[in-house]
Amino acid sequence: MAGYMNRATLIGNLGQDPEIRNMQSGERVASFTLATTESWKDKRSGDRQERTEWHRVVVWNEGLIGVLEDYVHKGDKVMVEGMLKTRKWVDQAGNERYTTEIVLSGFNGQLIMLGSPNGAARGEGEPASRTRTGTQTQTQTRTQAAAPSDGGYTPSGGDLDDEIPFGPCVD
Amino acid sequence: MAGYMNRATLIGNLGQDPEIRNMQSGERVASFTLATTESWKDKRSGDRQERTEWHRVVVWNEGLIGVLEDYVHKGDKVMVEGMLKTRKWVDQAGNERYTTEIVLSGFNGQLIMLGSPNGAARGEGEPASRTRTGTQTQTQTRTQAAAPSDGGYTPSGGDLDDEIPFGPCVD
Amino acid sequence: MAGYMNRATLIGNLGQDPEIRNMQSGERVASFTLATTESWKDKRSGDRQERTEWHRVVVWNEGLIGVLEDYVHKGDKVMVEGMLKTRKWVDQAGNERYTTEIVLSGFNGQLIMLGSPNGAARGEGEPASRTRTGTQTQTQTRTQAAAPSDGGYTPSGGDLDDEIPFGPCVD
Amino acid sequence: MAGYMNRATLIGNLGQDPEIRNMQSGERVASFTLATTESWKDKRSGDRQERTEWHRVVVWNEGLIGVLEDYVHKGDKVMVEGMLKTRKWVDQAGNERYTTEIVLSGFNGQLIMLGSPNGAARGEGEPASRTRTGTQTQTQTRTQAAAPSDGGYTPSGGDLDDEIPFGPCVD
DNA sequence: TTTT
DNA sequence: TTTT
């Protein structure tokens, strides 16, 4: 009971497999981008237009991370609900930058699986092997290489205060 | 009916009076920052902690702009609901930057006044004069001067494609 | 901008095909029941428990009715958002009764299709024939017969004020 | 993570002081009615119309009950969020009846105080005395007397399975 | 009456 | 980078 509400609710598709990182604190964090597409009819041309918005989702809730790890993949549709947080970081040129994320943590976060694009893996499937280290590593490598494509975001990395998703793995 | 949802719902207090700008297209845009404060008990010390998150809210709905203009001020508590949009802009050093805003437009936006800090102007009051140019200008000046406090955000301003709130007025 | 909010948001499965009725006013109404299931671990036994809640959804928005008619069927998962309204009616014994529904109308309603249980008909399929009178009639007949099963609800039927879904068709 | 969502979000005013009851299990329950008012312009006459919807809110979360007890009164504006549950009961004539409530329990419930009508007691005030037994009793009596006004609801009361709010106190 |  |  705080007198405030800070909530984002999204239904969209994952742009890539969730990336899971181990923090120095022993916690894990999962992160992924989520696409929401709005479409409308252009007033003049009457053409159908569409625009995709990309959101960064960060999950600190260990229960949800387990679900993401086992059942959620690139392209899947999910509903997520969390808090909006804007994080400050410093880019390689030393400029302060800000990134806004939807953060799911504790009881503030919710995630509902809404199906795979191909109808498979609707959550009823067997969990993916927990020993998919190769995939994990590959994902992280690719993500680092692709960093500029997700908004020029390159976290400074390093000390504990800096334990942020979407960046280099600290373990 | 699109299969997607993109929604942020906030209850918080305005960081400053809404700033209203005239676009070259003839439309108006209102913008303000909104503070949501979360508080919790620190596990170790047991101390009450709190953290304020600042959100940028942008309103394109003319009906809501009229309400903001007449009844909503710095410090007031409101509920807003809109879409998350991340906007790209170029700072003075030529760097690409990204800012995420809560955008209220058309039927995607909602605003509910929840009272002033001092109990006055709970919406029943008479509208503020529509000719408060002085205040407006002052607000904008202050906002620009205070830019660093709201995230170091300094939009590039200029051409039509650049019609962004929180920046210099184009009229 | 009203100072009030009245909203229900549900993600669940349809208990039956949407039932569409023609009102005397020329409007159409669609209605269906939606199941949401919560599950939890029993504190004592440790057993997994579950409980299903049934909701009545009523749709007055002609655009959404078209979508329901063409693409949404029994068992499908949908997200709906609308207003809570409690409607008074008189049962056959002359007792006043009250039924609470989630009402989607105008811009207050939202419906997102989230897939069929079998992976088919994910909205990409061709629309069902608009001339499925047989099915429609059958549905309505079945629904009337089954009235007691949905809560003993039997609307009084008749005059214009009484144009309510889940009851006998007036056309 | 269940694949379902069942949520009602309301911003409205309390129809009476919250009523708090002690269950045989030792738990407490708080309940109150909440009014949400929608207003619109009539298409024909152009007159401003309004309609008030009354909702029953039931709170099982002890933390929120403490807040309600100390700070929330008749007429206050609050935001509540909870699950929709339809409860079956038997009226004095032996008829089965159904009542839909917004239930706040555990982490599924949220309550935000949004101010008193008179600007007082905005949460900053000192808590009401915890020994206001008189008021409590009075409230309950009034509520029972006023039963018809809140929908003719008269719960059967009695055994443990029947521990329902808005009814006679069992202690 | 649905679904997992 | 997703999906329809």
Count other C-beta atoms under 10 Å from residue A108's C-beta: 16
Whether C29 contacts C165, CB under 8 Å: yes
Whether C12 contacts C77, CB under 8 Å: yes
Task: Name the residue with tokens 């909006």.
Answer: A84
Tell me the chain A residues in contact with residue D3 when contact means C-beta distances shorter than 8 Å. Answer: 112-114, 123
- Dihedral sign for Cα A68, A74, A77, A80, please: positive
**pLDDT tens, A52-79?**
999 999 999 999 999 999 999 999 999 9
**pLDDT tens, A5-27?**
999 999 999 999 999 999 999 99
- Chain C touched by B67 (CB under 8 Å): yes
How far is the C-alpha of A37 from the C-alpha of A55, rounded, in Å? 11
Q: Which two tokens stand for residue C138?
A: 């059958």
* Range scoring the smallest mean pLDDT among A40-44, C52-56, D66-70, D100-104: A40-44
Q: Please compute the mean of the pLDDT values over residues A101-113 and round it to a whole number.
A: 92
How far is the C-alpha of D14 from the C-alpha of C170, rounded, in Å? 38
How far is the C-alpha of A98 from the C-alpha of A102, rounded, in Å? 13
Residue at minimal CA–C1' distance from E3?
Answer: C13
Q: Is the pLDDT of residue A43 over 50?
A: yes
Are B2 and C112 in contact (CB < 8 Å)? yes
Q: Is the pLDDT of residue D79 over 90?
A: yes
Are B112 and D11 in contact (CB < 8 Å)? yes
Nearest CB to A85 within list B6, B53, B77: B53
- Chain B touched by D84 (CB under 8 Å): no
**D162 or A83: which leads in pLDDT:** A83
Are C152 and D36 in contact (CB < 8 Å)? no
Nearest CB to C112 within list B3, B107, B114: B3
How far is the C-alpha of A103 from the C-alpha of A109, rounded, in Å? 7
> What average pLDDT does the structure give for chain B?
76
- Contacts of residue C54, defined as CB under 8 A and 6 or more positions apart, other chains included, come to C15, C33, C34, C35, C150, D86
Residue of C21, C2, C6 whose CA lies nearest to C101: C6
Are A114 and D3 in contact (CB < 8 Å)? yes
**pLDDT tens, C50-78?**
999 999 999 999 999 999 999 999 999 99
Count other C-beta atoms under 10 Å from residue C118's C-beta: 11
- Closest nucleotide to residue C13 (Cα to C1')? E2
3-state helix, strand, coil in chain D (%, to 5): 20, 40, 40
How far is the C-alpha of D15 from the C-alpha of D17, rounded, in Å? 7
* Range scoring the smallest mean pLDDT among A42-46, A144-148, C89-93: A144-148
- Closest nucleotide to residue A122 (Cα to C1')? E4
Residue of D111, D103, D106, D104 whose CA lies nearest to D11: D111
pLDDT cut 90: percent of chain B above it: 54
pLDDT at B140: 32
Are D119 and B114 in contact (CB < 8 Å)? no
Tell me the chain D residues in contact with residue B119 when contact means C-beta distances shorter than 8 Å. Answer: 115, 118-120, 122
- Chain D touched by A124 (CB under 8 Å): no
Residue B78 φ then ψ, to 5°: -140, 160
Residue at minimal CA–C1' distance from F3?
Answer: A13
